[in-house]
Amino acid sequence: MSEQELNLTPTRPYLARAIYEWICDNNLTPYMLVDATKPYTDVPQQFVNDGQIVLNIIPHAVHMLNIGNEAVTFSARFGGVSKDIYVPMNAILGLYAKENGQGLFFDPDEYANVQIDEDALKSNVSQEAETSDTTKKKPSLRILE
């Protein structure tokens, strides 16, 4: 392998965005299979089975979905309680359509030789926590006359 091939960025974030768009364009329900045991993964633990969780990420079920190069973040309701979700890209095992199972499952070894910037992941997790703490306020109504 050449030096340039060793420094290539992983394909997972690009493929995840593409398959998510394809599933939504075909009016199907996108499911994301997550390895909940990976460091910095923040998902509702009560729904984790055998170290994995399946998340429904259909646009009307999530708020502020961002499929970035480092992680997938969004907010959703679980059992009626809002929760901010943080899934590092190396924790995503696959994206597929609920209705027919078509999608893409990723090579679990893709990130084996990739240097993951743990400081960036920690920073993202702490920023998410700060944002969720400062922006969530109780709703209130005010009568205007």
Q: Which domains does the chain have, with CATH numbers?
A: 3-135 (2.30.30.220)
Whether 68 contacts 102, CB under 8 Å: no
Mean pLDDT calculated for residue range 7-30: 94
pLDDT of residue 110: 84
Q: What is the pLDDT of residue 55?
A: 97
pLDDT of residue 109: 83
Please name the residues in contact with 142: beta carbons below 8 A apart, sequence gap of 6 or more.
Answer: none
Task: Confirm whether pTM is higher than 0.85.
Answer: no
C-alpha closest to that of 69 among 92, 96, 37, 45 = 92
Say if residue 133's pLDDT is above 70.
no
**What's the pLDDT score for residue 4?**
54
pLDDT at residue number 139: 55
Nearest one of 118, 94, 89, 92 to 104, comparing CA atoms: 94
